[in-house]
Amino acid sequence: MLYLIIFIPLALALVAFQSAVLSQITVAGGHFDAIIIALVLFTLYGSYELGLLAAVIVAPIMDAIAGLPMGVSVLPLFSVILLAHWGSKTIFGARLGWPVIVIFLGVLLAGLITLIELYLLGWSLAWEALILRALIPSAFLNAFAALVIYLPIVLISERQALHLE
């Protein structure tokens, strides 16, 4: 319960920051997706169930702000959380850059699922342009951002482990 009391305001602040600030920043056609990065790290270092609950809370807010049909973001976020959860059970766990790989694949997967959902809802899409000029650059940009965020987390957790011994 304490996680929810802390996470819900943080999630709302992150969605607001994502929509107000990060959506305005474009690097080589890619956009930062702090929501996916946060949910992957939350799932890997927290709990799978809490990651799913966080996605249910964040997705409708993301849809409303982005002007998407309500509920479109739920399945892509669930797929990213499942990918992170399955990967954490492998030999890699949360080591060897697994969060960076999950975020790269997660951005691609979430983007493709969103595009398919919008296509099925009757939206006309420029598939090639969206995938090559937006989705792939976003995946690389978010993987790099995850690496920048992930390295201090690893260093801090290793330091904490050394102090506990």
Q: Comparing C-alpha atoms, which of 15, 88, 103 is closest to residue 45? A: 88
pLDDT of res. 90: 59
Q: Read out DSSP for 97-129?
A: THHHHHHHHHHHHHHHHHHHHHHHTT----HHH
Tokens of 133: 């000029």
Tokens of 8: 């819900």
Weakest-pLDDT range from 42-46, 111-115, 158-162: 158-162
CA dist., res. 138 & res. 130, Å (int): 10
Contact 141, 31 (CB under 8 A): yes
- Average pLDDT estimate for 156-163: 63
Fold of 2-164: Arp2/3 complex 21 kDa subunit ARPC3 (1.10.1760)
Give the model confidence (pLDDT) of 66-113 as tens digits.
888 998 999 999 999 998 888 666 555 556 578 888 899 999 999 999
* pLDDT above 80 for 136: yes
Q: Tell me if the pTM is above 0.75.
A: yes
